[in-house]
Amino acid sequence: MKKKHLILTNGTVVTDSLIEQGTVVTIGDRIMYVGDQREGQRILKAADPNVFEIVDAQGGYIAPGLVDVHMHGSDGVELMDGTVEAMATMGRYLARHGTVAFLPSTVTAMKDKTRAVATLVADYSGAEDEAEVLGIHLEGPYINERYKGAQYGPAIRRADLDELAELHSILGDKLRLVTLAPEVPGSLQAIAWLKERGITVSIGHSDATYEQAMEGFATGITHATHTYNGMRGLHHREPGVLGAILATPDIWAELIADLVHVHPGAIRVMLRSVGADRIVLITDAVQATGLPDGEYVLGDQRIFVQDGAARLKEGNLAGSTLTLLQAVANMVREIGVSLPDAFRMASFNPAQSIGLADRGWIQEGNQADFVILTPGFEVQKTIIAGRIAYSAD
């Protein structure tokens, strides 16, 4: 049966402002119209039911589909499992929770294991009920031992252009994001190499001084990995990595908004300095996401989840069990940001931060990615590239 175009109606459209009783029309995988109730009624009356499927938001929200550029796993699996089944499980879980696209993230691992998961991602094409795999986020191994957090210490190494070249030969443009510490030997050369190839470089797990961080920014870093966490903090005589991020207007700054990794007061500081236009909400989700408290793994290490917080045996936080939709809800309900700003941080900003110009926002010409929510933020439908990938019905 030929796929129908969509008319999304009877909901509040979340875009630059809120359009109550709004209407969105998609043709194929593109958004063709965004408007209010008056024009929407005319469109509905004229629509051929053989051509268009009507999606009734039932008074809820028609919001941009969420984009997660930093997550490791969910629903009992993780990228480092290295299997097609793990990729499919993550993709289905994310689609059920309103995320339309994601970068599965590595953890610091030995070269052969990193190469194996790169090959998996390069060859992977998901099913229609899965969130889209945009590529890979290489988190480590070129990081600082002092701020390794839950990264695997024995596999930490200096930046290696030969290894990067091999991974790039496997992944091509699916090598989207690389987290490294600019003070690690070889990192500045790696940053320049990655920038030349259009790959986003992020500062993270770093003990850089303010000056070293700023040199990294000048060389090509445009992104910051889970801001506040895994980095030298702010001191008034040594602003460190955090100070450099807060002081630099054109850095995309990730934030884990589970209210465990970062105190609400620190989130407000970030909003005042970085602003909603540059914050990138992420989950840093691990395999325990969506599952009960208990013992799990993150790469080569055991993690323990209690009251939803994942930690190593030593007590270090080890990713989160957050969904991106929960992060949006936390920003709205606990921090007090507007709905457009919260969704911008979870959709538009992540897409822009890795160079996706036509994704992450409800505007004419963009890819038709949406999440349909009840007024209580429960997912009713997830729509990816104009197709319904998940429906609660």
pLDDT in tens, 22-62: 999 999 999 999 999 888 888 888 889 999 999 999 999 99
Q: In this structure, how many other beta carbons lie within 10 angstroms of the beta carbon of residue 263?
A: 11
For 226-269, the pLDDT digits (tens) are 999 999 999 999 999 999 999 999 999 999 999 999 999 999 99
- pLDDT exceeds 70 at position 1: no
pLDDT band at residue 3 under the 50/70/90 scheme: confident
Residue 320 CA to residue 115 CA, distance in Å, equals 25
Q: Which amino acid is at 175?
A: L
Range(s) of the chain covered by CATH 3.20.20.140: 66-353
pTM of the model: 0.97
Integer-rounded Cα Rg, in Å, for the chain is 21
pLDDT band at residue 179 under the 50/70/90 scheme: very high
Query: Are the C-beta atoms of residues 103 and 354 closer than 8 Å to each other?
Result: yes
pLDDT in the model for residue 300: 86
Residue 205 CA to residue 298 CA, distance in Å, equals 16
pLDDT in the model for residue 324: 98
Q: List, by residue number, the catalytic residues.
A: 284
Q: What is the CATH number of domain 66-353?
A: 3.20.20.140
- pLDDT exceeds 70 at position 166: yes
Q: Summarize the confidence of residues 120-148 as an average pLDDT.
A: 97
**Range 5-63+362-391 has CATH code 1.10.150.120:** no
In percent, how much of the chain has pLDDT > 70? 99
Range(s) of the chain covered by CATH 2.30.40.10: 5-63+362-391
pLDDT in the model for residue 21: 94
Token pair 């005319």 is at which residue?
A: 42
For 285-300, the pLDDT digits (tens) are 999 999 999 999 998 8
Tokens representing 192 are: 């320049």
- pLDDT exceeds 80 at position 216: yes
pLDDT in the model for residue 240: 98
pLDDT in the model for residue 2: 63
Residue 76 CA to residue 300 CA, distance in Å, equals 15
Average pLDDT, the chain: 96
In percent, how much of the chain has pLDDT > 90? 94
